[in-house]
Amino acid sequence: MYCSPLFLKKFYNKIHRMQHTGEIFMKKKFYASLFFSMIIGATILSIGGCNSKKVVAPPTGNAQEEYNIPAIPPAQDENQDYGEEDLPPVVGSLDDTDSNAAAEELASKQSEAYLQQHGRSSIEFQPVYFKFDQTMINPEMQEVIFENAQVLKRNPTLYITVEGNTDDRGTNEYNMALGEKRAINVEKYLISLGIGENRIRTVSLGEERPLFPTQTEAAYLYNRRADFIAE
């Protein structure tokens, strides 16, 4: 097949134009892709920036004062030594002589008052007192024996010992006999009031156990007595 030179030239020019047009198209396609890629990247960065956490600056003031947080007390040092100045004040003292003396005086007065009222009798009973060198029961003491008998009647299983006592004037033998007569006279009076003889026992102590050892009229008065001891 024969082709003229003019035809070949036209065909070459057409091919060249087609190649040039393709290059332009490819360049446009490249720049368009690059443009869209930039837009997509910027959009992603913008969305990521919106979702990021907001950074809060720490408070500059005192947090305990601002939020009312109680202060933590300092830890105690186990090796710290404590002296007397660290101890609370003490009222009084074991060596307080005045306080001890006052307490002893009060106890003595209470004990003395108890002895004057009860002698050495059990607390439910009252003692019977006698005049000097006498064994008779005077009217005032009869009332005491009557009250003691009522205690025995309210407690039918109760037994007693009547102890006869004297002051220290006279011989020991005489006072032992005197104390025995006083105890027996009390026993007889109780029996006359309806108390069974088997519930009463008598004993004489004479001057051996004085209630108050001083040699005064007051001491003698309280030492001349008969005690009621519950058994």
Q: Is the pLDDT of residue 56 over 50?
A: no
Q: What is the mean pLDDT of residues 39-67?
A: 53
Average pLDDT over residues 70-78: 53
What pTM did the predictor assign? 0.54
Residue 78 counted as domain residue: no
Residue 67 has pLDDT above 60, yes or no: no
Q: Are 226 and 163 spatial neighbours (Cβ–Cβ below 8 Å)?
A: yes
Residue 220 CB partners (closer than 8 Å, separation 6+): 132, 167, 169
123 within domain boundaries: yes
Question: How many helices (H) and strands (E) would you count in the chain?
Answer: 6, 4
CA dihedral 181, 185, 186, 188 (to 10 degrees): 140
The answer as to whether 121 is a domain residue is: yes
Range of the domain at 140: 117-230
Provide the CATH number for the domain around residue 194: 3.30.1330.60
156 vs 121: CA distance, rounded Å: 18
Tell me the per-residue pLDDT of 79-92, one tens digit each, with 9 for 90 and over.
555 555 555 555 44
**Cβ atoms 126, 118 nearer than 8 A:** yes
Query: Residue 156 domain-assigned?
Result: yes
Q: Which residue has tokens 């007192």?
A: 129
> Is residue 82 situated within a structural domain?
no
pLDDT tens sequence across 105-146 = 545 555 888 888 889 999 999 999 999 999 999 999 999 999
**3-state SS, residue 213:** coil
For the chain, how many structural domains are there in total? 1
| Residue 172 placed within a domain | yes
Handedness of CA 185, 186, 192, 194 (dihedral sign): negative
Answer whether residue 150 is part of any domain: yes
